[in-house]
A and B are shown apart, each in its own frame.
Chain A
Amino acid sequence: MALELIVSKIWKIYEGRPVLRDLSFVFDRKRIYVIMGPNGSGKTTFLKICALLEVPDKGKVFYLNSDKKRLPKDINLFRKITYVFPEVGIFNASVFDNVAYGLKIRGFKKKEIVARVEEVLDFVGLIHKKKQNALTLSSGEAKRMGIARAIVIEPEFIFLDEPTAFVDMKNTEIIEKILLQIKEREKSTIIIATHDTYFASKVGDIILKLENGKLLTENSA
């Protein structure tokens, strides 16, 4: 069942300047990986390539199943990985409908959708806001909704791009707790990009640093 993500010798060059250079890495544990680095170091570029939202200029990114077979990059694979953007990407709809989206497009039955959405909304502390238009949420609430919308589809890989950007201390702590609880379930590999060192040290099992286009291991637990 478990998927592995293999990044092999990738390059990404913008306007003659390499952002990622000959970068290789294997993500093979249901843990929290944190990728650190200052603004502009290429974290988003790297995450998007891993999430198959962008393609590298050179090198390969692929997912292996438990038989070490390479999975074709089709909708079946896309549906096993999901990305939460720094600005979340909120649909002009209720919190409930936003979170239900991934289940609806997968053809889930209404009863199961309601049960699963209410469960994750309860988990992220937004159940009382389920009827509210999601565009009117505060930043901390919106970030939590983004996480709820990702985990409700039980993906193998969750990419979180700057999950604490625009978020105050209190909400950052709530997000930390949520992420640690998700990790306990061991259902997903979580890969986070952040420039927040303290947050990284709180949630990260494996901390990586993106520097000069390469991924360096800082520590691993």
Chain B
Amino acid sequence: MEFLIEAFKKALFLIINLDRELLEIIFLSLKVSFSALIVASIFGIPLGAFLGMKKFPGKNAVIIFLNTGMGLPPVVVGLFLYMLFSRSGPLGFLHLLYTPTAMIIAQFVLAFPIVTALSQASIMKVDPIIKLTAKTLGATPFQVALTIIKEARYGILAGVIAGLGRVMAEVGAILIVGGNIAGYTRVMTTTIALETDKGNFELALALGIILLTISFLINITLYFIQKKGVPANTTWL
């Protein structure tokens, strides 16, 4: 019990003193996760919009594939990417293994299905009358599509934030492809895993507290976005 309190005190000390190593780890975590999320959104939102609006053969297969992707075990993603990027792998010549870029790619793979599938779901939820209204007010097909995406904006944003929650919390994929190299590829979750293993609780605990706080902030944001999306209902119909 006493060692717990001691570790906790030291953790708070690290946070309050803005320990340099701590800050570097936090900064890299945010950089990796936000980069992955931005790329996942750039590709995932338009693809989700396309899936939500168009009918084509094989669409159901794509959606099932994406839904499976939402639950991909991070370690499996890490394993596949490791095999791709390892020296003898097909993409070995890129020398990406154990770099932040490899970590961004891994988290992109994890976030992309979430952003895409949740965008698609919220686009599908837009009342068909919105499409007809845009059309009859003179919108071109492209303007109609943009209008529908705009109508779905709260749902899409919720998907992006859910993606952020997933990548911020995962450890399996980035540990395998990033390697947890001090000062280069160490992020919050991998450091926690490693330091705990070594019995160094204070840094692990400090990072744990910060990670929880970030996760808490993400969920507060998500809550308010979802709440803001709610008046999207006329009461007289």
Could you tell me which A residues sit within 8 Å of B by CB distance?
51, 53, 75, 78-79, 81-83, 85, 87-92, 101-102, 105-106, 133, 135-139, 142, 149-150, 153, 166
Contact = CB atoms under 8 A, between A and B. Distances in A.
Nearest to A85: B129
Interface string B117-141: 0000000000101101111111110
A196 B150 CA distance: 36
Contact of A83 (B136, B147, B231): B136
B236 interface: yes
Contacts of A89: 127, 129-130, 132-133
B231 A136 contact: yes
B130 A106 contact: no
A166 B236 contact: yes
B138 A133 contact: no
Contact of A105 (B127, B130, B140, B231): B140
In the A-B complex, the 5 residue pairs with the closest CB atoms: A89-B133, A139-B236, A79-B138, A89-B129, A83-B136
Given A53-B135, A85-B129, A136-B235, 16 more contacts: A53-B136, A75-B140, A78-B138, A79-B138, A85-B132, A85-B133, A87-B129, A88-B133, A89-B130, A89-B132, A90-B234, A101-B134, A105-B137, A105-B139, A105-B143, A142-B234
Contacts, number: 67
A82 B129 CA distance: 14
Contacts of B17: none
B92 to A, nearest CB: 49
Contacts of A105: 134, 137-140, 143
A149 B236 contact: no
Interface string B31-50: 00000000000000000000
A137 B233 CA distance: 10
Contact of B237 (A91, A92, A166): A166
A92 B236 contact: no
Interface in B86-137: 127, 129-130, 132-137
Nearest to B235: A136
A78 to B, nearest CB: 6
5 contacts: A78-B138, A87-B129, A92-B231, A133-B231, A149-B137
A43 to B, nearest CB: 16
Given A53-B132, A78-B138, A105-B140, A138 B231 contact: no
A81 B138 CA distance: 8
B236 A138 contact: yes
Given A89-B129, A91-B130, A91-B151, A78 B135 contact: yes
B72 interface: no
Nearest to B234: A135
A51 B136 contact: yes
Contacts of B182: none
Contacts of B147: 91, 101
B137 A101 contact: yes
A195 B137 CA distance: 25
Contacts of A135: 231-234
Contacts of A101: 134, 137, 147
Nearest to B140: A75
Given A89-B133, A91-B151, A166-B237, A82 B138 contact: yes
Interface string B212-237: 00000000000000000001111111
